[in-house]
Amino acid sequence: MDLRLSGKRALVTGSTSGIGVGIAQALAAEGVAVVVHGRDAARAGKVAADLRGSGVRVGVALGDLASDEGAAAVAKAATKALGGIDILVNNAGGQAQQSAAGFDNKTPDDWLATYNNNAVAALRLIHLLSPAMKERGWGRIIQIASAAASAPSETVPQYSASKAAIVNLTVSLSKALTLTGVTANTVSPGMIATPALDGWLDGIAQAQGFGADRARTEAYVAENLVQQTVGRIGQPHDIGAMVAFLASPLADFINGANFRVDGGCSPSVN
């Protein structure tokens, strides 16, 4: 399907590994010029070089989105690289502290830092890049939240709450963007097979005697640990496909929505 995205320009934050790479690849495959963002120049350069193989323009913007100054530098570099940004994908984020799991072990500082890394970091770039989108009369702002936003975990409550804030923020933003030609939506991934998950999956494979059979390991995890209705763990390209669609003109009539791409682990009528 032609998503009519050729020539559009996107900034994908946190796109030097995992889900961010999958999103950048999906957009590049549709002819979108992409700015790769991260904090490691070598990793960003490698992803950028790979994306250029798709025949699209690729830029790099380095910086920490946890501060106003860092976010401003990223927005400036991204805009300079491509001459403007039509599609903002707020994917960067995560837990700010790796303290012990559990509600009682998370201090107010843990909560504040994680909220800043997720919701506030996204807000910074929205403020910096959405005015030009509104001026042009077209744009897409897509937030990457988590299945934990609607099915929160007791082990990482601050992360779940910060992702729920992103979903809420996006609905408010969609209303603020009324009749501007700019839409805002959220994608909430479930368990996705990223490098960060490899060690955990290897441990399960060893404990269950699955050896190097990753497909069997993933099926076991999907059935017994995350209780999905789809018998595999998600892949970065699963999230990339949804983001590419929402970024496209074909999604003009979708605004303020949250799409759970989670293998059915958080079924809901809402």
What residue segments make up the domains of the chain, in order of their start? 9-192+234-261, 193-233
pLDDT band per the 50, 70, 90 thresholds, residue 92: very high
Taking a C-beta distance cutoff of 8 angstroms, is the pair 27, 34 a contact?
A: yes
- Confidence (pLDDT) at 98: 60
Going by C-alpha positions, the residue among 266, 237, 270, 11 that lies closest to residue 160 is: 266
**What pLDDT shows up at residue 153?**
72
With CA atoms as reference, report the closest residue to 164 among 269, 67, 258.
258
Report the distance separating Cα 112 and Cα 198, nearest Å.
29
* Catalytic option among 11, 75, 159, 217: 159
Name the pTM for this structure.
Answer: 0.93
What pLDDT shows up at residue 103?
Answer: 59
Q: What is the pLDDT of residue 41?
A: 97
Quote the mean pLDDT of the chain: 92
Instruction: Please determine, for residue 100, whether its predicted confidence score (pLDDT) is greater than 60.
Output: no
In the predicted model, is pLDDT for residue 25 greater than 60?
yes
> Which pair of tokens denotes residue 100?
């012990």
- Quote the strand ranges of the chain, DSSP E: 9-12, 33-38, 58-62, 87-90, 139-144, 182-189, 258-261
| C-alpha to C-alpha distance for 98 and 250, rounded to whole angstroms | 40
Tally of residues, the chain:
270
d(CA 14, CA 194): 13
Rounded distance between C-alpha atoms, residue 237 and residue 254, angstroms:
21
Whether 159 is catalytic is: yes
Determine the distance from the C-alpha atom of residue 66 to the mean position of all C-alpha atoms in its chain, rounded to a whole number. 16
What CATH number matches the domain at 9-192+234-261, 3.40.50.970, 3.40.50.1100, 3.10.20.30, 3.40.50.720?
3.40.50.720
Is-contact 64 39, C-beta < 8 A?
Answer: yes
Distance between CA atoms of residues 44 and 146, nearest Å: 24
Tell whether the model's pLDDT for residue 115 goes beyond 70. Answer: yes
